[in-house]
Structure 1
């Protein structure tokens, strides 16, 4: 029989324990543990949420990896076309983990109304395009249908629509810059079939999505010429490895780049979230540990007589320390229990009701995204329990200083 655990349970269940002098300090310690895990859960959920959401939006606009011609022009505008007939299109045969390979072509232009104008990038896509991303952020209208003959339907962002004071199904005039084969700008009219709003202003303010056959016409390309290929992966965490595999699997005249390489500043910025999260976790664990140390010392000092009696009956210092460590572990678990309930509830409320908003110009999202895995929840709880428990071992040695004769005599 584990008599240390038995005594610890009796102490916890005792009425004197609940109404003792140490009761307020114990409640403060439990509250500190609960607040600590709440803040840690929220920090991890918001940090991961921002990272996931920003990188998903980047991939939604640009794919995880782009394959284009080697070209000194690193802008978003396709200059030198690529032959569509490639060994890796429509599917890589020897590389796993790839969700989709889709063609695209870009053309710089200006949208004009009677009173305003906006510079845009006309991104042309085809029937192989994965619309999952834009379906999520489509707020009005419908997606263009590319299964019929060449269409003039386009998707525009709510940002551009508001700036140009346009409405769904309006016709908009677009002027495109001249090409090497055409000295004059091209003018075309397009019907706005759908409106999207991703909250990623860097792209929302300039991206128009339409038929790649329109881009081919504007650029004087043949049906077999495209701006490049976008590759979507099943697992973003494999982007570096898959990027190298794809680079080695494509012709020497083609260049492949991951979105990490195309937009390094954005991804370096979101990696800083991890540092902030680790700092918050460290501070919360230290605060929780200090409160638990205080609670443990009060519990020991309040039970000096009991410690003296147990020593007089032959209990070792190690056994008595176990009693109080069991007791402290119960307090930690109680704090973790309530902290998880409250913390996960807050995360759930934010996920479903989007209460906390952000400035999209700064954070690329309009509401605070949250994301947390079961593994992260378990790791936070186990790490907090273990570290707080280890922090209590040294203070528990105060029990070795208590002498039975003095503690029983002056109790």
Structure 2
């Protein structure tokens, strides 16, 4: 029988504390709150990162293949042999979907307003899942199905600036020689919350850009590639780059939006600071609780030493006791943290300014691996921290301890 564990269990079962009871409650509460704050913080940050990343990918895809001459320009350069290129790229493992696009800068003019925008032309192979998620009202145009379609999808931001609504028609001017004009009709309004896209992007059938640029019906401005695993972005991008011709280039979603992803990466630093601070708070409170337990049970320590118990065996009694308190605190911390996360995830009670945070509510991402990692890390750190102060037991004189009241 493990005598240290047996004694610790008896001490826990008796639950007889004198002056240590308030300190123990404070220690349990500190561990609970620290763990809850860590769980909530990580769930919120991961929620932010996932939501914003999904929105950016929805507009830009994971990887774009285009002519080297394109650079960062909104004026697409022709990309020929689209079908053969799609077949070549589809051979790369990890590819989820490939779709065609083209972009062209223009100016929307109404009776009283004017706005510079980018017309993004799409084809029938475009995955509209993301657009359905951000569609505010109306419907999504049927891309690439009908000839001479003048239907477009615009953002709520552009609609408000130009005082436009569903069913309204407007003229869009394209600066070229000669200046070309297209009369377009709004059938849908979207709202992604990402100002970088909402302020400029108008979605239409690619046929408009093909005719404006005098391209053939099979010519496009580039290919957008969606992949299964974001962690493989760089490796898949490199493999695609090696397969395509020397006159073509690839750009990842990170290349196209460096500032946004730098900001998201900065949030990881914030999480690390919060995790470290909360772990320190929890560990310090458990050390204080252990020292108080040792002081309160010094007579028991003296008796055990007098009976021939080794220092390490006695130390284990108090470590086991403290681990019980840690687990109790962690149980309440998990209940509190996960309950608050689930409530926010279900009801979106905490709202945000969409113009600043790209979304109207605090997003929550509950990931079982993150939960297990935080719990495991908390338990191990507290356990290791308890070993050092338990060394105080070896310094206790059994005769003085037995006489101590």
Counterpart for residue 11 of structure 2: 11
SS in 1 for 2:204: strand
Instruction: Give 2:108's match in structure 1, choosing from 80, 96, 111.
Output: 111
What's the TM-score, normalizing by structure 1? 0.94
Asked if the contact 1:69/1:228 (under 8 Å) is kept, the reply is: yes
Alignment equivalent of 1:223, drawn from 201, 214, 217: 217
**1:155–1:194 contact (8 Å) kept in structure 2:** yes
Partner residue in 2 for 1:381: 375
Q: Aligned-pair distance for 1:291?
A: 0.6
Q: Residue 82 of structure 2: SS of its match in structure 1?
A: coil
2:274 maps to which residue? Answer: 280
For 2:367 and 2:267, how far apart are their aligned partners in 1? 17
Output the CA distance in 2 between the equivalents of 1:89 and 1:172: 35
Give 5+ residue unaligned stretches, structure 1.
none
Taking structure 2 as the reference length, what is the TM-score of the superposition?
A: 0.96
Report the Cα offset of residue 365 of structure 1: 3.1
Give the secondary-structure state (helix, strand or coil) at the position aligned to 1:123.
strand
**Which residue pairs with 1:335 in the alignment?**
329
Q: After superposition, where does 1:318-329 map in structure 2 within 5 Å? A: 318-329=312-323
Choose 365-374 or 298-307, whichever is displaced more: 365-374
Offset, 1:84? 4.0
SS in 2 for 1:155: strand
The 2-side partners of 1:48 and 1:84 are apart by 40
- Number of aligned residues: 404
Q: State the distance in 2 between where 1:366 and 1:333 align.
A: 36
Structure 2 residue matching 1:370: 3-state secondary structure: coil
Give the alignment of 1:105-144 within 5 angstroms.
Answer: 105-144=102-141
Structure 2 counterparts to residues 71-220 of structure 1, below 5 A: 71=69, 73-78=71-76, 80-89=77-86, 92-146=89-143, 147-178=145-176, 183-220=177-214
SS of 2:173 mapped into structure 1 = strand
Indicate how the Cα distance of structure 1 residues 60 and 91 shifts in structure 2: closer, same or farther if over 3 A, else same: farther
Pair 1:49-2:47 in alignment: yes
Offset from partner CA, 1:179-226 (integer Å, 9 cap, x none): xxxx23222222211111111011011111110111111222211211
The answer to whether the 8 A contact 2:157-2:199 is kept is yes
In 1, Cα distance between equivalents of 2:147 and 2:280: 65
Is 1:366 equivalent to 2:360 in the alignment? yes
Q: How does 1:256-405 map to 2 (within 5 A)?
A: 256-405=250-399
SS at match of 2:86: coil
Matches of 1:260 and 1:307 in 2, distance apart? Answer: 61
Deviation readout 1:349-386 (Å, 9 max, x if unpaired): 22222233334444333332222421111110000110
Structure 2 contact 156–190 (Cα < 8 Å) conserved = yes
- The Cα offsets for residues 132-153 of structure 1, whole Å up to 9 and x where unpaired, read as 1111111211111132334211
Q: CA RMSD in A?
A: 1.6
Superposed CA deviations along residues 104-144 of structure 1, whole A, max 9, x for unmatched, are 01111122221112211110101100111111111211111
Mapped contact 1:12–1:327 kept (Cα < 8 A) = yes
Q: 1:15 to 1:391 in 2, by over 3 A?
A: closer
Asked whether the 8 Å contact 1:84–1:226 carries over to 2, the reply is: no
| 1:68 corresponds to 2:69 | no
Secondary structure, aligned partner of 1:366: coil
Shift, 1:74, TM fit: 1.9
Larger mean CA deviation between 64-73 and 222-231 belongs to 64-73
Which residue in 2 is equivalent to 1:34? 32
